[in-house]
């Protein structure tokens, strides 16, 4: 069973929204809980290819993906410059 923490209030670094979803990578087992969380925007699927620099959060307000770890977010932004 895949577990994820959706209780911590994380703010989007782009728009400041707290309407944030956890990004799940890989092939999660289907369940009624996962289906409900997908419909409610608590979780989004990130795909099967995983790297060391994949974002772990998705903003449901501005549709941008980001790292919940602020130091990792800064590294990600520098790499894109």
Q: What is the rounded distance in angstroms from the CA atom of residue 39 to the CA atom of residue 33? A: 10
Question: Which pLDDT value is given to residue 72?
Answer: 54
Q: How many domains is the chain partitioned into structurally?
A: 1
For the stretch 35-77, pLDDT in tens is: 999 999 999 999 998 898 899 999 999 999 999 986 555 554 5
Q: What is the rounded distance in angstroms from the CA atom of residue 29 to the CA atom of residue 68? A: 24
Within a domain: 28: yes
Q: How many CB atoms lie within 10 A of CB 81?
A: 4
- Give me the domain span that covers residue 44: 20-80
Within a domain: 8: no
Question: Which pLDDT value is given to residue 21?
Answer: 96
Angle at the Cα of 71 (from 75 to 44), degrees rounded to 5? 85
- Above 60 in pLDDT, residue 3? no
Question: Which pLDDT value is given to residue 2?
Answer: 53
Sign for the pseudo-dihedral over CA of 31, 57, 12, 8 = positive
Within a domain: 25: yes
Question: Which pLDDT value is given to residue 14?
Answer: 96
Within a domain: 49: yes
pTM of this structure: 0.75
Within a domain: 5: no
Question: Which pLDDT value is given to residue 70?
Answer: 63
């Amino acid at each position: 069973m895949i577990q994820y923490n959706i209780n911590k209030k994380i703010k989007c670094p782009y728009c400041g929204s707290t309407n944030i979803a956890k990004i799940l990578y890989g092939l999660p087992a289907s369940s009624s809980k996962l289906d409900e969380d997908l419909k409610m925007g608590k979780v989004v699927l990130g795909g099967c290819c995983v790297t060391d620099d994949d974002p772990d959060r998705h903003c449901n307000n501005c549709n941008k993906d980001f790292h919940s770890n602020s130091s990792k977010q800064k590294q990600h932004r520098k790499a894109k410059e």
